[in-house]
Amino acid sequence: MAQRRALVVRGGWEGHQPVKATELFIPFLERNDYAVRVEETTEIYADAAELAGTDLVVQCVTMSQITPEQLAGLSTAVVAGTGFTGWHGGIADSFRASSDYLHLVGGQFATHPGKEPCERHGGEQDNFLPYRVNITELGREHPVTAGIEDFDLVTEQYWVLHDDLIDVLATTTHPTREWHPWPRPVTSPAIWTRHWGAGRIVVTTPGHSLDVLEHPSVRTVIERGMLWATRTASAS
């Protein structure tokens, strides 16, 4: 069997440590017989020939911008069968100004509610809350999340805007507190997949920092997601 090709694209906001975060997973890809190419910008997305020969794109680019040509290249590749995956802001908070990118991914970071105002001190930990990731009924059967039990984290809890073409493997519920303007708890997808043309997409929202990425359940989901999203024989 020919060696699979993975493209790791990283950059954007440095707060998510795109280099160190992606370096956690490159050895996993190599152990699973992927030839890995790493790019520090999204310029590679405009190279149609390169993406056509890529079986999996792993993206870690928070915020930033993407050109129409780059997005067209990425979207065309996914429709043709290239897998697309990532975690946290590196995929769910990328390219906020691009509605077509949001359409491709199917869900977009809106906010991460913070602590009670009197407990905030101006740092990133103002937004670190204890919360649970609940595996859905679908998630208990899906290859990406099968066998994983509900798990707890203390980190940013993503509130996600999404459409109903995503297959939700796990959710998280935002409670309402007296300092919140919303009137009832809100449940957001925490892990989802999406079929787009012949391509598969996997989004895992936990992953703000290296310790979260190294959480056994989070890391397992991300690694399984890479394998599942990879171009299938029927899309080659």
Of 95, 90, 97, give the one whose Cα is nearest residue 10: 90
Structure tokens at 134: 């609940």
What letter would DSSP give residue 2? P
Q: What is the pLDDT along the chain (236 residues), one digit of tens a residue?
A: 569 999 999 999 999 999 999 999 999 999 999 999 999 999 999 999 999 999 999 999 999 999 999 999 999 999 999 999 999 999 999 999 999 999 999 999 999 999 999 999 999 999 999 999 999 999 999 999 999 999 999 999 999 999 999 999 999 999 999 999 999 999 999 999 999 999 999 999 999 999 999 999 999 999 999 999 999 865 54
Of 232, 224, 235, give the one whose Cα is nearest residue 29: 224
Contact 44, 50 (CB under 8 A): yes
Of 220, 217, 224, 216, give the one whose Cα is nearest residue 200: 224
Structure tokens at 129: 């809350």
Q: If residue 59 lies in a helix (H) or strand (E), which one and from where to where?
A: strand 56-62
**Distance from CA of residue 142 to its chain's centroid?**
17
Rounded-to-10 torsion of CA 60, 138, 190, 213: -50
pTM above 0.75, yes or no: yes
